[in-house]
Chains A and B, each alone.
Chain A
């Protein structure tokens, strides 16, 4: 393990990404046991800093930490206090003082996780920094793909939705491309970064073409607050052109794997019948999320190569 922190998959070596995923499967087995706890991180202090609302990621990290027997402190703060810009520096100083082994941070500003590493000795795990990266989400997505397909190399993966504002998309792109998958992004053209091809991904504006091409598609949550404020004209228009609807999937003969990072807007980016069908591995993703986060914390907090 070369990594000291997990900031993003762009900067994480390929071998480390594989190790995070493979060790994730070991923890996945532990999660199937009657007692889903190992004592590995006994005595380690982990603080969860959430400067942005999050339910799923926070619960998933908390479960992972508890199941590794770590001591946890939670700190949540609203995005509005971040807007004043004071939080990060104060936080840095507080963490210094508290002698924390590991910080799991979600922050609305891109780069805040890497900035934290400049000031703090603790292991930093990025739980989402603005529109930059959400590496553990991408790791759990890739773990779920590996679970289903056995391998990631050569897989054709489509990512559908608001690519521009999605840290999930960016982390998935970096990770999947590194592990040898082919990636295409699909969404309204103005919600895809100009020049995204430079990251070695394809761009497709027609979601039906994408479905025909892909082995699996990862459907991003469409933020309702972006609807009808001139960015996405309306729900029905989005559904018509990019929604993974029952009718659309019926028209395609092939059965592809459907993923979603959650929480799902049923009837917007995906229909319930698809989200609840056998082709969806959304609930596996949730379980793998805990496992892969255990793996990340375990490997980073016990990283010998750096000591």
Chain B
């Protein structure tokens, strides 16, 4: 079986030798071997005898852990297949170690009905990753009428969100938070007050000052975070804050978590690991919403991840075509891709912060899995393998060759990263990722 840079079917026997297995779902953290036969784990033991017919993967000094879960991705299908589709997005996710991906509803048409959800489900059956659609809060993301949330839950959605369009109408948000209690799914609201954004392109601060670009202030996010959490507290709703980016928002999250509000939040690798100085050359690939913040804010975000105030990492993988990015900074689309780099970028950063590898992995698997309440698939006998093998010492430089997405909109090409997912196994597929 040739594995390099290709997704193959798992056939016959695969033996993963001497890996340091970390599975937080069943509390395993030990060096052991895993024997897989016909896409089923048949043994997790030390010193399993190998056989010349086995495909043997030497995992010495490597971490063997569960597949990752991404709560926030844009696979653009239907409607924008020129940027990405479910197939290319899944490949991209698989190469980044993500085996379960939540797809945002900002497609064309919007994922606002059970029919649309079924479309996604049917299309993703044979893909190497599990797709969990997120339905829209309001029909067509218009912010006016609630979508058929219950019907969509029946069809398989795990959360609701109007994605990049904040729910301006507070009453609609209140109703959504109340109604979704019946289905026990979180409401995800992009927290940005459009008036305060005021056409801001990048974080308001010293960098925007120097670049002469209109600034998007941190308060545009934090004021809406406060509103959303106040409503969630009032109606005892379940809320999840996407791509949190400011120190002030963290302060507010702490306040409401301390009060016991059913609240979780995610951060993207780029908001956690980069600062607004990456825009000093006006690189449109670094233009995202909310904007990447200053060094000072980044410090607070890092501490919030370490202390657990921020629950998990989500990529906000947002592919855009060259035409949409190769224009001036005001007209360029917001967003960057992130599947292939998420783990390595976060690990490179958090390693310096002295965070333990197990806690870092939890940000990618255990924690997001709990937020949307999906049943895990631990690494144990009789389960299908859903596994990442990670070389934490690997130093590598991101090139276009590493990217499986249809789009290349990332400012990280050429960047040196530490730690790399070497193999991913899921849904009967296996790949040895490109070096």
Contact = CB atoms under 8 A, between A and B. Distances in A.
A and B touch in the complex (CB under 8 A): yes
B206 A109 contact: no
A153 interface: no
B214 A199 contact: no
A111 B209 contact: no
Interface in A70-86: 82-86
Contact of B327 (A85, A170, A194): A85
Given A89-B326, A115-B282, A195-B205, A109 B212 contact: no
Interface in A86-112: 86, 88-89, 107-112
A198 B207 CA distance: 10
Nearest to B323: A89
Interface stretch (A33-41, A128-136, A138-146): A128-136
Interface stretch (B265-273, B328-336, B340-348): B328-336
Nearest to B213: A110
Given A109-B328, A110-B282, A199-B210, 5 more contacts: A89-B326, A114-B281, A194-B204, A194-B217, A198-B209
Interface string B162-174: 0000000000000
Contact of B329 (A10, A111, A170): A111
A88 B212 contact: no
Nearest to A174: B210
Interface string B298-339: 000000000000000000000000010011111110000000
A196 interface: yes
B211 interface: yes
A278 interface: no
Contacts of A129: 212
Query: Chain B's interface: helix, strand, loop or mixed, by majority?
Result: loop
A115 B214 CA distance: 17
Contacts of A196: 209
B211 A195 contact: no
Contacts of A246: none
B329 to A, nearest CB: 5
B331 A193 contact: no
Interface in B390-429: none
A153 B327 CA distance: 40
A167 B213 CA distance: 10
B282 A198 contact: no
B282 A114 contact: yes
A131 B212 contact: yes
Contacts of B213: 110-111, 130-132
18 contacts: A10-B210, A84-B331, A85-B328, A89-B327, A110-B329, A111-B282, A112-B329, A115-B329, A130-B212, A130-B213, A131-B213, A133-B212, A167-B212, A195-B205, A195-B206, A196-B209, A198-B209, A199-B210
A49 to B, nearest CB: 13
Nearest to B212: A132
Contact of A199 (B209, B323, B327, B329): B209
